Amino acid sequence: DIVMTQSPLSLPVTPGEPASISCRSSQSLLHSNGFNYLDWYVQKPGQSPQLLFYLGSKRASGVPDRFSISGSGTDFTLKITRVETEDVGIYYCMQGLQTPRTFGGGTKVDIK
Amino acid sequence: QVQLVESGGGLVKPGESLRLSCAASGFTFSDHYMSWIRQAPGKGLEWVSYIDGSGTATFYADSVKGRFTISRDNAKNSLSLQMDSLRADDTGIYYCAKDRQPSSYLGLHVWGQGTTVTVSS
């Protein structure tokens, strides 16, 4: 199984400041079609998870452009240019390249 | 709009069975794979199973293989998860999610609100 490792575990942030979350996979997620089979999800307090990005860098509908993705292969980063209070939640990466799909352990983003 | 509504959760004893359902609306159900994902109390997300659009191909996490069975009824736009031989570590919130199409990967782009399963004596 592909192991997904996220860091940090917890990320206290100041509104207006940038934030970044790292996700590493134990195997390359780059498919021969040129896409990385890596998704990002956020679970806001009391809500179901929701999709942020899929296939590495494809933005899901309604995701603000203050969110961006970088990386390929085994190393990926989710960046927020200026954190807003509504961005509080737990962020997960997930690989969709192989079955079983596997999630990272999550990064909790909260306000300092 | 696209909507997924889970039901069937509850409190059961270890070794008992439970059947979860997910009612889908707002999209062509048979065009999409569907997944179940669960979340133990205070823990992260764990992918459980998915099924292709026709219902002929199914995949399971090792932790549930042989105990859980995923199925779908495309005529009723319904997804199910039959859970047998339940254990305490199956406790959690179970989400269904709209998944890929055969020729396009879309991530888990719509999630239901979840249904809670508690396995305890």
Nearest residue of B to residue A51, measured between CA atoms: B109
| Smallest Cα distance from A54 to chain B, Å | 5
CA-CA distances (angstroms) from residue B88 to A44, B9, B46, B68?
Answer: 26, 14, 15, 14
Q: Which chain B residues contact residue A50 at CB under 8 A?
A: 111
Q: Which residues does chain B have within 8 Å of residue A41's beta carbon, measured at their own beta carbons?
A: 45, 108
Closest CB to B105: pick one of A37, A48, A92: A37
Q: Say whether pLDDT at B68 is over 90.
A: yes
* Of B55, B57, B48, B52, residue with least CA distance to B115: B48
Question: CB distance A96–B105 less than 8 Å?
Answer: yes
Query: Which candidate, B50, B49, B37, places its Cα nearest to that of B92?
Result: B37
In chain B, which residues have their Cβ closer than 8 Å to the Cβ of A55?
105, 107
Chain A hits for B63, CB-CB cut-off 8 Å, are none
Q: Give mean pLDDT, residues B95-120.
A: 95
**pLDDT score for B103:** 87
For the segment A19-78, what is each residue's pLDDT rounded down to a tens digit? 999 999 999 999 999 999 999 999 999 999 999 999 999 999 999 999 999 999 999 999
Q: Which helix (H) or strand (E) holds A7?
A: strand A4-7
Whether the per-residue pLDDT at B108 is higher than 90: the answer is yes
Residue from A76, A101, A102 whose CB has the most chain B CBs within 10 Å, to mutate: A101
Q: Which of A73, A61, A98, A67 is nearest to A23 (CA)?
A: A73
Q: CB atoms < 10 A from the CB of A7, how many?
A: 13
